Protein backbone atom coordinates (compact mmCIF):
# COMPACT_ATOMS: atom_id res chain seq x y z
CA UNK A 1 0.00 0.00 0.00
CA UNK A 2 1.17 3.54 -0.65
CA UNK A 3 0.26 7.20 -0.64
CA UNK A 4 -2.18 9.23 1.46
CA UNK A 5 -4.92 6.63 0.92
CA UNK A 6 -2.70 4.01 2.51
CA UNK A 7 -2.00 6.25 5.50
CA UNK A 8 -5.73 6.87 5.98
CA UNK A 9 -6.45 3.14 5.66
CA UNK A 10 -4.04 2.42 8.51
CA UNK A 11 -5.46 5.13 10.77
CA UNK A 12 -9.09 4.19 10.05
CA UNK A 13 -8.37 0.50 10.63
CA UNK A 14 -6.69 1.30 13.95
CA UNK A 15 -9.63 3.43 15.03
CA UNK A 16 -12.20 0.77 14.16
CA UNK A 17 -10.25 -1.94 15.96
CA UNK A 18 -9.63 0.15 19.07
CA UNK A 19 -13.20 1.43 19.38
CA UNK A 20 -14.61 -2.10 19.02
CA UNK A 21 -12.18 -3.57 21.54
CA UNK A 22 -12.93 -0.96 24.20
CA UNK A 23 -16.66 -1.27 23.54
CA UNK A 24 -16.78 -5.02 24.13
CA UNK A 25 -13.82 -5.75 26.40
CA UNK A 26 -14.81 -3.28 29.13
CA UNK A 27 -17.90 -3.59 31.40
CA UNK A 28 -19.95 -1.13 29.31
CA UNK A 29 -22.46 -3.82 28.34
CA UNK A 30 -23.74 -3.89 31.91
CA UNK A 31 -23.49 -0.14 32.47
CA UNK A 32 -25.03 1.72 29.53
CA UNK A 33 -28.20 1.33 27.51
CA UNK A 34 -28.43 -0.30 24.09
CA UNK A 35 -28.43 3.07 22.38
CA UNK A 36 -24.77 3.63 23.19
CA UNK A 37 -23.89 0.42 21.36
CA UNK A 38 -25.91 1.56 18.34
CA UNK A 39 -24.06 4.88 18.37
CA UNK A 40 -20.57 3.45 18.77
CA UNK A 41 -21.28 0.52 16.46
CA UNK A 42 -22.33 2.89 13.67
CA UNK A 43 -19.02 4.76 14.08
CA UNK A 44 -17.05 1.48 14.02
CA UNK A 45 -18.95 0.39 10.90
CA UNK A 46 -18.09 3.63 9.10
CA UNK A 47 -14.43 3.43 10.15
CA UNK A 48 -14.00 -0.20 9.08
CA UNK A 49 -15.74 0.38 5.75
CA UNK A 50 -13.62 3.50 5.24
CA UNK A 51 -10.45 1.51 5.95
CA UNK A 52 -11.47 -1.04 3.34
CA UNK A 53 -12.27 1.64 0.78
CA UNK A 54 -9.07 3.59 1.39
CA UNK A 55 -7.02 0.40 1.34
CA UNK A 56 -8.55 -0.64 -1.98
CA UNK A 57 -7.28 2.57 -3.52
CA UNK A 58 -3.78 2.26 -2.08
CA UNK A 59 -2.40 -0.99 -3.52
CA UNK A 60 1.31 -1.12 -4.18
CA UNK A 61 2.44 -3.68 -6.79
CA UNK A 62 4.94 -5.17 -4.35
CA UNK A 63 2.31 -5.84 -1.69
CA UNK A 64 -0.75 -6.66 -3.76
CA UNK A 65 -1.79 -9.92 -2.08
CA UNK A 66 -1.21 -8.57 1.42
CA UNK A 67 -3.18 -5.46 0.55
CA UNK A 68 -6.11 -7.48 -0.76
CA UNK A 69 -6.20 -9.53 2.45
CA UNK A 70 -6.15 -6.36 4.57
CA UNK A 71 -9.02 -4.86 2.57
CA UNK A 72 -11.00 -8.11 2.80
CA UNK A 73 -10.58 -8.25 6.58
CA UNK A 74 -11.56 -4.58 6.92
CA UNK A 75 -14.74 -5.24 4.97
CA UNK A 76 -15.33 -8.39 7.04
CA UNK A 77 -14.98 -6.25 10.17
CA UNK A 78 -17.57 -3.85 8.76
CA UNK A 79 -19.86 -6.78 7.94
CA UNK A 80 -19.52 -8.28 11.43
CA UNK A 81 -20.30 -4.90 12.98
CA UNK A 82 -23.37 -4.49 10.79
CA UNK A 83 -24.48 -7.99 11.75
CA UNK A 84 -24.31 -7.40 15.51
CA UNK A 85 -26.05 -4.06 15.08
CA UNK A 86 -28.92 -5.82 13.31
CA UNK A 87 -29.04 -8.50 16.00
CA UNK A 88 -29.14 -5.82 18.67
CA UNK A 89 -31.97 -4.07 16.82
CA UNK A 90 -34.09 -7.26 16.83
CA UNK A 91 -33.32 -7.65 20.55
CA UNK A 92 -31.04 -10.68 20.19
CA UNK A 93 -28.70 -9.04 22.68
CA UNK A 94 -26.78 -12.09 23.83
CA UNK A 95 -25.95 -13.18 20.28
CA UNK A 96 -25.06 -9.61 19.34
CA UNK A 97 -22.67 -9.40 22.27
CA UNK A 98 -20.98 -12.68 21.35
CA UNK A 99 -20.55 -11.56 17.74
CA UNK A 100 -19.24 -8.21 18.92
CA UNK A 101 -16.65 -9.89 21.12
CA UNK A 102 -15.63 -12.14 18.22
CA UNK A 103 -15.15 -9.06 16.05
CA UNK A 104 -12.26 -8.00 18.31
CA UNK A 105 -9.86 -10.81 17.26
CA UNK A 106 -11.03 -10.20 13.70
CA UNK A 107 -9.95 -6.59 14.05
CA UNK A 108 -6.56 -7.69 15.38
CA UNK A 109 -6.16 -9.94 12.34
CA UNK A 110 -7.06 -6.96 10.17
CA UNK A 111 -4.30 -4.88 11.78
CA UNK A 112 -1.78 -7.67 11.29
CA UNK A 113 -2.77 -7.87 7.63
CA UNK A 114 -2.30 -4.12 7.25
CA UNK A 115 1.06 -4.40 9.02
CA UNK A 116 2.18 -6.92 6.38
CA UNK A 117 1.70 -4.26 3.68
CA UNK A 118 4.40 -2.11 5.29
CA UNK A 119 8.07 -2.59 4.40
CA UNK A 120 9.24 -2.58 8.03
CA UNK A 121 9.80 -5.39 10.58
CA UNK A 122 6.44 -7.04 11.20
CA UNK A 123 6.74 -7.19 14.98
CA UNK A 124 7.48 -3.48 15.33
CA UNK A 125 4.74 -2.52 12.89
CA UNK A 126 2.12 -4.67 14.62
CA UNK A 127 3.04 -3.15 17.98
CA UNK A 128 2.72 0.37 16.59
CA UNK A 129 -0.66 -0.39 15.01
CA UNK A 130 -1.98 -2.00 18.21
CA UNK A 131 -0.79 0.98 20.27
CA UNK A 132 -2.44 3.31 17.77
CA UNK A 133 -5.66 1.30 17.97
CA UNK A 134 -5.77 1.65 21.76
CA UNK A 135 -4.94 5.36 21.45
CA UNK A 136 -7.57 6.32 18.88
CA UNK A 137 -10.13 3.91 20.31
CA UNK A 138 -9.77 5.46 23.76
CA UNK A 139 -10.40 9.00 22.53
CA UNK A 140 -13.32 8.00 20.30
CA UNK A 141 -15.12 5.90 22.90
CA UNK A 142 -14.42 8.52 25.57
CA UNK A 143 -15.93 11.26 23.43
CA UNK A 144 -19.02 9.22 22.60
CA UNK A 145 -19.41 8.18 26.22
CA UNK A 146 -19.22 11.79 27.36
CA UNK A 147 -22.06 12.67 25.00
CA UNK A 148 -24.06 9.69 26.20
CA UNK A 149 -24.30 11.23 29.66
CA UNK A 150 -26.57 13.86 28.11
CA UNK A 151 -29.15 11.17 27.33
CA UNK A 152 -28.68 8.94 30.38
CA UNK A 153 -28.78 11.17 33.43
CA UNK A 154 -28.70 8.21 35.82
CA UNK A 155 -25.40 6.86 34.53
CA UNK A 156 -22.75 6.83 37.25
CA UNK A 157 -19.29 8.35 36.93
CA UNK A 158 -17.69 4.91 36.76
CA UNK A 159 -17.59 4.56 32.95
CA UNK A 160 -16.25 8.06 32.24
CA UNK A 161 -13.67 7.78 35.03
CA UNK A 162 -12.48 4.50 33.53
CA UNK A 163 -12.35 6.12 30.08
CA UNK A 164 -10.09 8.86 31.47
CA UNK A 165 -7.67 6.36 33.01
CA UNK A 166 -7.77 4.27 29.84
CA UNK A 167 -6.80 7.31 27.80
CA UNK A 168 -3.85 7.97 30.09
CA UNK A 169 -2.69 4.37 29.65
CA UNK A 170 -3.24 4.62 25.89
CA UNK A 171 -1.03 7.72 25.75
CA UNK A 172 1.79 5.77 27.38
CA UNK A 173 1.38 2.91 24.88
CA UNK A 174 1.23 5.32 21.94
CA UNK A 175 4.34 7.15 23.11
CA UNK A 176 6.17 3.83 23.17
CA UNK A 177 4.89 3.05 19.67
CA UNK A 178 5.96 6.41 18.25
CA UNK A 179 9.40 6.11 19.84
CA UNK A 180 9.71 2.61 18.37
CA UNK A 181 8.92 4.08 14.96
CA UNK A 182 11.51 6.81 15.37
CA UNK A 183 14.04 4.18 16.39
CA UNK A 184 13.53 2.40 13.08
CA UNK A 185 15.42 5.25 11.43
CA UNK A 186 13.13 5.47 8.37
CA UNK A 187 12.39 8.95 7.06
CA UNK A 188 8.91 9.95 5.88
CA UNK A 189 8.33 9.05 2.25
CA UNK A 190 6.26 10.40 -0.60
CA UNK A 191 3.03 9.83 1.30
CA UNK A 192 3.99 12.50 3.81
CA UNK A 193 4.79 15.02 1.08
CA UNK A 194 1.41 14.34 -0.53
CA UNK A 195 -0.38 15.05 2.75
CA UNK A 196 1.74 18.02 3.82
CA UNK A 197 5.22 19.06 2.56
CA UNK A 198 6.21 20.09 6.08
CA UNK A 199 6.14 16.44 7.14
CA UNK A 200 9.24 15.77 5.06
CA UNK A 201 11.38 18.58 6.45
CA UNK A 202 14.09 17.23 8.73
CA UNK A 203 12.01 14.29 9.87
CA UNK A 204 9.46 16.68 11.38
CA UNK A 205 6.72 14.05 11.13
CA UNK A 206 8.24 12.27 14.12
CA UNK A 207 8.43 15.49 16.12
CA UNK A 208 4.83 16.34 15.26
CA UNK A 209 3.72 12.87 16.33
CA UNK A 210 5.61 13.07 19.62
CA UNK A 211 4.32 16.58 20.30
CA UNK A 212 0.71 15.62 19.64
CA UNK A 213 0.99 12.53 21.83
CA UNK A 214 2.30 14.71 24.65
CA UNK A 215 -0.54 17.18 24.10
CA UNK A 216 -3.03 14.33 24.27
CA UNK A 217 -1.42 13.17 27.50
CA UNK A 218 -1.79 16.64 28.97
CA UNK A 219 -5.44 16.72 27.90
CA UNK A 220 -5.97 13.31 29.50
CA UNK A 221 -4.64 14.68 32.79
CA UNK A 222 -7.01 17.65 32.51
CA UNK A 223 -9.91 15.25 31.90
CA UNK A 224 -9.03 13.28 35.02
CA UNK A 225 -8.70 16.43 37.13
CA UNK A 226 -12.00 17.78 35.77
CA UNK A 227 -13.84 14.60 36.70
CA UNK A 228 -12.79 15.03 40.32
CA UNK A 229 -15.46 17.71 40.57
CA UNK A 230 -18.85 16.63 41.95
CA UNK A 231 -21.03 18.84 39.76
CA UNK A 232 -22.78 17.28 36.73
CA UNK A 233 -21.10 19.90 34.53
CA UNK A 234 -17.78 18.19 35.23
CA UNK A 235 -18.71 15.45 32.73
CA UNK A 236 -19.61 18.08 30.14
CA UNK A 237 -16.25 19.78 30.65
CA UNK A 238 -14.47 16.43 30.35
CA UNK A 239 -16.33 15.79 27.09
CA UNK A 240 -15.05 19.10 25.74
CA UNK A 241 -11.51 18.00 26.53
CA UNK A 242 -12.18 14.71 24.72
CA UNK A 243 -12.97 16.79 21.62
CA UNK A 244 -9.49 18.28 21.81
CA UNK A 245 -8.02 14.83 22.41
CA UNK A 246 -9.61 13.53 19.21
CA UNK A 247 -7.91 16.31 17.23
CA UNK A 248 -4.47 15.83 18.78
CA UNK A 249 -4.66 12.02 18.72
CA UNK A 250 -5.57 11.76 15.05
CA UNK A 251 -2.95 14.34 14.14
CA UNK A 252 -0.39 12.26 16.02
CA UNK A 253 -1.47 9.08 14.26
CA UNK A 254 -1.33 10.55 10.77
CA UNK A 255 2.09 12.05 11.44
CA UNK A 256 3.31 8.71 12.83
CA UNK A 257 1.96 6.61 9.98
CA UNK A 258 3.37 8.65 7.10
CA UNK A 259 6.72 7.03 7.97
CA UNK A 260 5.33 3.64 6.97
CA UNK A 261 4.36 4.17 3.36
CA UNK A 262 6.18 5.39 0.23
pLDDT, tens digit (0-9, with 9 covering 90-100), for 65-120? 677 899 999 999 999 999 999 999 999 989 999 999 999 999 999 999 999 888 77
Residue 40 has pLDDT above 70, yes or no: yes
Residues 6 or more apart from 262 whose CB is under 8 A from it? 2, 3, 60, 119, 189, 190, 191
Domain ranges of the chain: 3-257
Average the pLDDT over each of 7-21, 38-52, 201-215 and give the range with the smallest value: 201-215
Residue 191 CA, chain-centre distance (Å), reads 20
pLDDT of residue 5: 82
Q: Tens of pLDDT along 228-238?
A: 888 878 898 99
pLDDT of residue 183: 57
Nearest partner of 20 among 96, 115, 119, judged by Cα: 96
Mean of per-residue pLDDT scores for the chain: 87
This prediction's pTM:
0.88
Confidence band for 207, pLDDT divided at 50, 70 and 90: confident
Report the pLDDT averaged over residues 113-137: 90
Amino acid sequence: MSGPAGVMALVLAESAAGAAAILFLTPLWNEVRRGFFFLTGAVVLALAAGAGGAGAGAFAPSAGSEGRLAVALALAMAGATLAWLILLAVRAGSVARILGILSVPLSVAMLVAFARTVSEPLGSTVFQLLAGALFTGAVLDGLLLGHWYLTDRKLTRGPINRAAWLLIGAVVAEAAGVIAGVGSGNEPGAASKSINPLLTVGGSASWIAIGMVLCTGLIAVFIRLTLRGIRPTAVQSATGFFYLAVITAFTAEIAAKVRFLP
